[in-house]
Amino acid sequence: MNVRATGAEVAGERTDGAADRAVAALVEKARAAQRVFENAGQEALDTAAAAAAWAIMEPQRNRRLADLSVRDTGLGNADDKFRKNYRKTLGLLRDLHGQKTTGVIARDDASGIVEIARAVGVVAAITPSTNPAATPVNKIVNSLKCGNAVIVAPSPKGYSSCALLIEFIHAQFVKAGLDPDLVQMLPAPISKAATAALMRQCDLVVATGSQANVRMAYASGTPAFGVGAGNVASIVTASANLRDAAQKILRSKTFDNATSCSSENSVVIEAAVYQPMLAELAACGGVLLDAAQKTRLQAAMWVNGKLSEHCTAKSAEVIARVAGLDEIAERHPAFLMVEESGAGSDYPFSGEKLAPVLTVYRAANFAAAADVVRDIYAYMGAGHSIGLHSSDAAQAVQLGVSLPVARVIVNQAHCLATGGNFDNGLPFSLSMGCGTWGRNNFSGNLGFRHYLNTTRVAYPIEERVPDPDDLLGDFFARFGR
């Protein structure tokens, strides 16, 4: 399959008019294919979703995608991307298995309501360079399961990985007799004008990646689901199993070189176990920098106020060398640690780093730890999630009712758990809504139901008019009529 456009479509950065015309041609093909597909029945939808999933899960194809992703984006770790591509897609298939997504999906005789699942049409899938294969396939599988066509707008760095993925999907479609126009992508070179045109012309936008893209999605005039900024913090309490907590933070902080928005950026430790926890983190390969080393690391990681591409999603050893900390690099650290006491723009380590660098805070007690996290999220990351390592289950609920978070992850490796895992009940997703705290219109993990319309048929039932006293009796008793 040749996914590259020719002629005027690739002649540099498109004008708005040219972008509109190029995208319109893709959307027209997608609509024609989707109109047939949405009426093909549940088996056809399930087959298409399975074909797209197997396109990335098959080991040889998965390895090519993982290697290409790291080679062309320079972000992350190929072995971890291989595992992510497989497990996230397998988990999604588990969530979709047996789900009805077309025709009548529910009947309630008592209410007289029949629910009918309907496709949304053509989905614009905006995807990031950090997961240039796993995120597109998640959106493609969800879209197909619900009878939609999908057009992917990859990041420029992730273009090659996405193109290869769609080539693999089309090969599976040929075997299954499916129309390749159901899954397309923007032609190279990827431009903001083309991405914006796609958002305007499609029926639904699902945007994951930079906050600029998310804001563009919400402003496109098309219904959109976008996600908030990551900047996860985890709390370690005095009742935690410190060794277990440290090992799970290690797994989360280092997986794919911390490309995930769900990787901890900060850990807040109760004072009673502060030094023992630092010792456990050191035993896991974490290296705590002194004040001078922290200053040099800060200068390397932020250039003119922006994260440096030389440190983003690189290994801790590479980052240490970029910062001129050769003595640290020679220790082959798994991750770097810096101590911090504040949050906000004057404390850049309190923000998202997309790197295996962990900011460490000391808190007097659990309530103080929650206050530290609240301050961090007031700066960045509100709505996403928080990790908790504790033997007191009630503390998780306390965080859930008091902090601006959509998920509380208890005694787990956060970046592996928050998007769904086989040992928790969250749905598998690579797009986590952050609610109104994160300026999002949803607070769950983006799943197949977000890719559906639902029509409700209302039949007449026996009239049931309540007595006002049954509903207002308590109010009347307390305050009178």
Q: Do 131 and 259 contact (CB within 8 A), yes or no?
A: yes
Residue whose token pair is 């007031």: 378
Contact 411, 244 (CB under 8 A): yes
* Nearest Cα to Cα of residue 124 among 112, 111, 136, 110: 136
Amino acid identity at 242: L
Bridge partners, 337 (sequence order): 288, 358
Those residues whose C-beta lies under 8 Å from the C-beta of residue 339, and which sit 6 or more positions away, are: 288, 294, 359, 360, 361, 362
DSSP bridge partners of 456: 115
Catalytic residues: 261
Residues paired with 362 in a beta bridge: 269
CB-facing half-sphere around the CA of 416: CA atoms within 13 A: 24
- Got the DSSP string for 171-193? HHHHHHT--GGGEEEPPSSP-HH
- Note whether 396 and 408 are within 8 A (CB): yes
Instruction: Please give the distance of CA 111 from its chain centroid, rounded to a whole number.
Output: 37
What the block records as the tokens of 116 is 């009918």
Q: Which pair of tokens denotes residue 358?
A: 């962990």
The SS3 assignment for 132 reads: coil
Residue 118 bridge partners (DSSP): 453
Which residues are bridge partners to 103 per DSSP?
117
Separation between Cα atoms, residue 224 and residue 222, nearest integer Å: 6
Residue 356's φ and ψ, nearest 5 degrees, are -75, 60
Q: Token digits for 268?
A: 């807040």
